Amino acid sequence: MTRARLLLLAIPLVWILFHFLSDGSVLTAGNMVNLFKYLSVVGILATGMTLVIGAGHIDLSVGSLLGFLGAMNALLLAAGWPLPAALAAGALLGLAAGALHGVLVAVFRVPSFIATLSGLLAYMGLKQHLANPVIPLQNEFLIRLGQGSLHGAAAWVAAGLAVLIVVAAAGRKRAGWAAVLGAGLLAMTAVAERDRGIPLSVLALGLAGAACHFIAVKTRAGRYVFALGSNAEAARYAGIPVRGVTIFAFALMGLMAWLAGLTATSQLMAGAADIGDQQELYAIAACVLGGTSLRGGSGNVWLSVLGAVLMASILNGMEQMGIPSTMQKVILGVILTAAVAIDPLTSRLAARKTIAKTIVKERT
């Protein structure tokens, strides 16, 4: 059974299980809307992290970076900058921060773990300096991004477009599971319509996922990223610009950190010193649950998003049950360890199955 099928089966099963364990508080319209609203930040980070891990690297800075970029956007708006100029400055700053990590890794040969761990500490200090006290967000458009929703016809049109994109991208071979996912999207829209509608932050996640998926699958740069993660030396001998691809992957991650920071800041309606704390760990966890190999060379953006949904669903269910936050982290750690341990086993089983089929074909 493929990773996509496992995730599409596991997510509703988790909802149903925790719904009964929490005395019916999970599968309610209000809780499901909140679930998808607040997983959008981790989901956006996971879309970019898929390419970074796919290239054989890691980025530990993105949690602190998103908090710093969100505080910077709030500060620029408070200083009177026009919205387009403030957004452009934040996006360029995110690209520059990501590119800096890429340069340290690709040019100066600093291990990505060390380079981005240094960034984590630096951006954490900067955001705590800027956003202490908090910086109120003074722009109705951005506040609506975090607090607004699509209702009625607009919500159904958005859901219909999403279903069409899913079905078109899946093709004939995966038409059955695309239909299941499409039906799930329509069902979730119906549930959301019973409460506040589809959160706009979910649309931001959808746009980030579509952009990163397109880059990963349809562009030369995206294919080079995973080729680099599979075998860096072979990629170099094949003429792939290893340094440029590495810088590109980290720069894209920086841009996704900016979008995630904008979303998180708009949800809180302020730039705050604790925004983004530990979000890098959750983004990496979402990629692992989505099947992205920590050794590099493989990964799927949409599966990472589904991994974020699964992880957020488990955390949400534990909260509804009243499990203390300390124990939630322990349980999530155990789940992630199991996911990482099972992945090589399933890969070996799949390889053996493929070899067995090949042998049978040759004999017949």
Paired residues of 270 in beta bridges: 136
Q: What does the CA dihedral 198, 204, 210, 214 come to, rounded to 10 degrees?
A: 170
Q: Do 298 and 359 fall within a single domain?
A: no
* CA atoms of 337 and 340, how far apart (whole Å): 5
Q: What is the pTM of this model?
A: 0.93
* CA atoms of 230 and 209, how far apart (whole Å): 23
CA distances from 129 to 16, 238, 274 (A): 43, 46, 11
In a domain, 33, yes or no: yes
Neighbour count for residue 208 (Cβ, 10 Å): 24
> How much is the average pLDDT of 216-243?
93
Q: Do 129 and 81 fall within a single domain?
A: yes
> How much is the average pLDDT of 225-247?
94
With beta carbons less than 8 A apart as the criterion, state whether 72 and 264 touch: no
Q: Do 12 and 120 fall within a single domain?
A: yes
Spacing of C-alpha 225 from chain mean position: 17
In a domain, 363, yes or no: yes
Q: Do 294 and 353 fall within a single domain?
A: no
Q: Do 297 and 345 fall within a single domain?
A: no
Tens-place pLDDT, residues 65-86: 999 999 999 999 999 999 999 9
Q: Do 86 and 201 fall within a single domain?
A: yes
In a domain, 176, yes or no: no
Ramachandran class of 149: left when φ > 0, alpha when ψ lies in -120 to 50, beta otherwise: beta
Total residues belonging to the chain: 364
Q: Do 134 and 281 fall within a single domain?
A: yes
> How much is the average pLDDT of 51-65?
96
Q: pLDDT value at position 171?
A: 64
Mean pLDDT estimate for the chain: 90
Tens-place pLDDT, residues 194-216: 998 999 999 999 999 999 999 99
Residue matched to tokens 């900016």: 258
Tens-place pLDDT, residues 300-351: 999 999 999 999 999 999 999 999 988 988 988 888 787 777 666 665 655 5
Instruction: Tell me the DSSP string of 202-215.
Output: HHHHHHHHHHHHHH
Task: Give the H/E segment covering residue 360.
Answer: helix 325-363
pLDDT-above-70 percentage for the chain: 92
Residue matched to tokens 């119906």: 190
Q: Do 118 and 267 fall within a single domain?
A: yes
Q: Do 337 and 214 fall within a single domain?
A: no
Q: Do 282 and 356 fall within a single domain?
A: no
* CA atoms of 86 and 265, how far apart (whole Å): 14
Q: Do 261 and 130 fall within a single domain?
A: yes
Residues 6+ apart with CB under 8 A from 99: 247, 250, 251, 254
Cα radius of gyration (the chain): 21
pLDDT band at 185 (very low <50, low <70, confident <90, very high): confident
Nearest Cα residue to 52 out of 99, 96, 88, 89: 99
Residue range(s) defining the domain that contains residue 343:
332-364
Q: pLDDT value at position 95?
A: 98
Nearest Cα residue to 87 out of 265, 295, 345, 282: 265
Lowest mean pLDDT among 2-11, 29-38, 51-60, 86-95: 2-11
In a domain, 158, yes or no: no
- Preceding peptide of 133 cis, ω within 30°: yes
In a domain, 175, yes or no: no
Query: The CATH number of the domain where 95 resides is what?
Result: 1.10.3470
Q: What does the CA dihedral 77, 80, 81, 84 come to, rounded to 10 degrees?
A: 70
Q: pLDDT value at position 1?
A: 47
In a domain, 17, yes or no: yes
pLDDT band at 107 (very low <50, low <70, confident <90, very high): very high
> How much is the average pLDDT of 164-187?
77
Q: pLDDT value at position 246?
A: 97
Q: pLDDT value at position 138?
A: 84
At 199, is the secondary structure helix, strand, or coil? strand
Neighbour count for residue 152 (Cβ, 10 Å): 9
CA distances from 57 to 53, 106, 265, 295 (A): 5, 11, 27, 8
Task: Give the H/E segment covering residue 136.
Answer: strand 135-136
Buried b (16+ CB within 10 A) or exposed e, 256-291: bbbbbbbbbbbbbbbbbbebbeebbbbbbbbbbbbb
Q: Do 19 and 139 fall within a single domain?
A: yes
> How much is the average pLDDT of 45-64?
97
In a domain, 356, yes or no: yes
Nearest Cα residue to 213 out of 87, 44, 6, 4: 44
Neighbour count for residue 51 (Cβ, 10 Å): 30
pLDDT exceeds cutoff 80 at 358: no
> How much is the average pLDDT of 32-36?
93
* CA atoms of 174 and 121, how far apart (whole Å): 43
**Number of domain units in the chain:** 2
Q: pLDDT value at position 46?
A: 97
In a domain, 7, yes or no: yes
177-183 contacts, C-beta under 8 A, 24 or more apart: 177/4, 177/5, 177/8, 180/8, 181/8
Q: pLDDT value at position 345?
A: 63
